[in-house]
Structure 1
Amino acid sequence: MDFQYYLPVNLIFGRGKADLIGEKAAGLGKRALIVTGGRSTKESGLLARTEELLKKQGVSSVLFDKVEPNPLTTTVYEGAGIATLEGCDLVVALGGGSSLDAAKGIAFQAVNGGDINEYIFGRKVSDKALPVLAVPTTCGTGSEGNGFAVMTNPDTSDKKSLRCSAIVPACSIIDPLLMTTMPKAVLASVGFDALCHNMDAYISSISQPLTELMALEGIRLAAESLKRVCEDRDDLDSWDKLCLASTLGGMVINTAGVTALHGMEHPVSGLKNAVHGKGLAALAPYVYEASIKGSPDKFAAMSKMLGGKNETDFVSQIRDLITELHLTETLGDMGIRESDVPWLTENCMKISAASIANHPVIFSREEINSIYTKSI
């Protein structure tokens, strides 16, 4: 049993821990670039609260609030330019996975400069970035627990992650109380993403004992809590479980990677700016249906956690969950047409080759093409 596990992440988890934002930031720098989207953290009051907490600890701040869903490389360039111009030595990420990913990209770009796509595609490497304090407000991507920053190149529609240990957050504060303002539709989508991260990592061919332990726990926690929080927003114990599932999902994909489901979804949201969790839900039954033969024991274990009996009813369990979460949009509903399928297939092979290779069944181009077509 040979394996290596390395993930330098500092997690501060618990209700009310957002009160520590200023204290933890002060240990990382003196001038922060706050990276967030344009609306939710302002409406919830978190942005103003963060600015005040930083000020009390002697940390000045500059706001960059232009992060969009499925953040663009051009947004990262703009944020990095502001960080450099303002002399920021710290990045504070507030918001969902898009804000965290953009913040990590900005922290990297501010130090390294140049064409970030060179680093995304591995043609250049660097182990330097500004420190990041991550404060997630959605429980889905797990970006607070890994060294990934997913972004889309608007010139090519390539949606791919920058992967680097330097962008593992220096500190992540996961406060379940920050999640409770999410609209139900957002919650369903990000929660399903959290579940899929754990499932992807669990079935990955490069999984290992520690990631399998954490992924199984993440699946169990997500399966227990996701429907409950959608039904009862005041169930704080379930919020705790779902937030931990999300963070575990982010951690396990850092080591075991994602597999074909995520690999096939990224071209969809790269091309059509689709909601990532909805794209996963549209693809999941068809991807997994074609995958069970590659790892029946693992699919049986996952099925039992979802309420099934063995691998033969795993797909029906996933379909039932998708229906209960109201995530029943097809790729066609997201704007994908059959004429897009050849591009999706080729882009998948271009940007997601590792994810396809990690899958328990190695899909051919023809099989990928078929799954996309069925999902329309």
Structure 2
Amino acid sequence: MSVSVTLPRMMEIGGGAIARVPDMVRNLNASRVLLITDKTMVQFGYADKVQALLTQADIESRVYADTIPEPTASSVNEAVQIAKDGGFDCLVALGGGSAIDSAKAISILARFGGVMRDYKVPRIVNEEGLPIIAIPTTAGTGSEVTKFTVITDDATDEKMLCVGLGFSPTAAIVDYELTMTLPARITADTGIDALTHAIEAYVSRKASPFSDFNALEAMRLIAPNLRKVYHTGSDTNARESMMRGATLAGIAFSNASVALVHGMSRPIGAFFHVPHGLSNAMLLPSITAFSIEEAPERYAKCAIAMGLATESDPIDVANTRLVEELDAINQELNVPTLAEFGVSQDEFESVLETMIEQALASGSPSNNPRIPTPDEMKSLYRHLWS
């Protein structure tokens, strides 16, 4: 049986890789670059650094720094108009998953028009938008190598999952040095997001030997280094391992799909503005425990890859250690409950049915080893208060 694999056309990986931006632009036969980023990247000087590299290479560029966390359909409109009016032929996306996801939406809308809802699943978007060079500054989302973007509908608060080759970056620059200044909270949230990608890709019903290889290697890199980068952000070796692990996890889930954690996580972010990685972390232990009975061998392999068990350990022992470790990570990295995050339980209950509907509509829960009923999803959501 064959499997379809999607990857960027070009990738540059390693410390200092950002210096290759001009070469990648030239390789795309582009000459006018719109740099899609956020104000934090401007404050840290990273946007200026990229623009200086382009200027030195006689490549015209303009910075758009108004992307927002958890991008919405309306938040990308200004940049879409700038891209169209300015005749830009390449987008460079610099930042975390939100900046890269925004660039993916801008790429398609600038070339083909319409509104973001036109491009949500079940539509598969294989049209080729403006080429994107993705430069992640967090070790987490893997968006630099995926064919997905998530954009919130302002009118309904639905986090719309959009899928297809059209959303896959043309090129990616993976430079761990860009993560050295990340604060501990963002380091934790994005790191757990990457770990979730790897685990869900491995247990997904759409997994293949190709995605399995990348998912297991991602877990081997992330598991021993997640706590290190949280406590000691200056640990160069740990930062590099996390960055490589996050990219491999992105490759894994882009080619196997995520599952129930992500399906249930998106509505939490949409309704209560919980950062994506943090809402994944809130759900990961309980959904793993719920799902294990349908794929015990697969989850045991995750425990082995993470260094929690050996091949000689019984499967149930390995799986117990896995759930215990996921709980322990949340404790050590100070992942709050939804109540501790500040969400009112009455408000939560008022949108619970809608959250379940949106999670199911995304299609991600159907990739899970154990496919939940709506009542089971309700119970898993309510577990967030424990």
TM range (shorter): over 0.9
**Separation in structure 2 between the aligned mates of residue 31 and residue 250 of structure 1, nearest angstrom:** 28
Structure 1 segment 102-141 matched on structure 2, within 5 A = 102-123=102-123, 125-141=125-141
Which deviations, in whole Å up to 9, do the C-alpha atoms of 1:110-168 show, x marking residues without a partner? 01101221111335745120000111111100000111111111111111222121221
User: How far is the alpha carbon of 1:101 from its aligned partner?
Assistant: 0.6
CA contact (8 A) 2:124 2:164 kept: no
Structure 1 segment 137-156 matched on structure 2, within 5 A = 137-156=137-156
- Higher alpha-carbon deviation: 302-311 or 14-23: 302-311
**Unaligned stretches of 5+ residues in structure 2:** 310-316
User: How far is the alpha carbon of 1:325 from its aligned partner?
Assistant: 1.4
Give the count of matched residue pairs.
Answer: 374
**Separation in structure 1 between the aligned mates of residue 273 and residue 232 of structure 2, nearest angstrom:** 30
3-state SS of the aligned residue for 1:58?
A: coil
Which deviations, in whole Å up to 9, do the C-alpha atoms of 1:215-259 show, x marking residues without a partner? 011111110211122232232221111111111111111121110
**Separation in structure 1 between the aligned mates of residue 112 and residue 342 of structure 2, nearest angstrom:** 36
- How does the TM-score come out when normalised to structure 1? 0.95
**Aligned CA-pair RMSD:** 1.7
Residue 83 of structure 1 aligns to which amino acid in structure 2?
Answer: A
Which deviations, in whole Å up to 9, do the C-alpha atoms of 1:14-62 show, x marking residues without a partner? 0011111122123321111111112x21122111111111112222112
**Separation in structure 2 between the aligned mates of residue 338 and residue 195 of structure 1, nearest angstrom:** 31
3-state SS of the aligned residue for 1:322?
A: helix
CA contact (8 A) 2:139 2:179 kept: yes
**Separation in structure 2 between the aligned mates of residue 271 and residue 3 of structure 1, nearest angstrom:** 39
Q: Identity rate of aligned residues, in percent?
A: 29
CA contact (8 A) 1:152 1:159 kept: yes
**Separation in structure 1 between the aligned mates of residue 217 and residue 204 of structure 2, nearest angstrom:** 16
Residue 11 of structure 2 aligns to which amino acid in structure 1?
Answer: L
CA contact (8 A) 1:100 1:143 kept: yes
Which deviations, in whole Å up to 9, do the C-alpha atoms of 1:79-98 show, x marking residues without a partner? 11110011111101011110
CA contact (8 A) 1:135 1:172 kept: yes
- Higher alpha-carbon deviation: 115-124 or 80-89: 115-124
- Higher alpha-carbon deviation: 240-249 or 113-122: 113-122
- Higher alpha-carbon deviation: 164-173 or 201-210: 164-173
1:317 partnered with 2:325: yes
- How does the TM-score come out when normalised to structure 2? 0.92
Which deviations, in whole Å up to 9, do the C-alpha atoms of 1:351-372 show, x marking residues without a partner? 5442111101110000000111
Which residue number corresponds to residue 217 of structure 1? Answer: 217
CA separation of 1:307 and 1:334: change in aligned 2, threshold 3 A: farther
User: How far is the alpha carbon of 1:8 from its aligned partner?
Assistant: 3.3
**Separation in structure 2 between the aligned mates of residue 357 and residue 61 of structure 1, nearest angstrom:** 43
Residue 194 of structure 2 aligns to which amino acid in structure 1?
Answer: A
CA contact (8 A) 1:35 1:91 kept: yes
Which residue number corresponds to residue 278 of structure 1? Answer: 278
Which residue number corresponds to residue 335 of structure 2? Answer: 327
CA separation of 1:97 and 1:125: change in aligned 2, threshold 3 A: closer
Which residue number corresponds to residue 208 of structure 2? Answer: 208
Which residue number corresponds to residue 61 of structure 1? Answer: 61
- Higher alpha-carbon deviation: 273-282 or 20-29: 20-29
**Unaligned stretches of 5+ residues in structure 1:** none
Which residue number corresponds to residue 36 of structure 1? Answer: 37
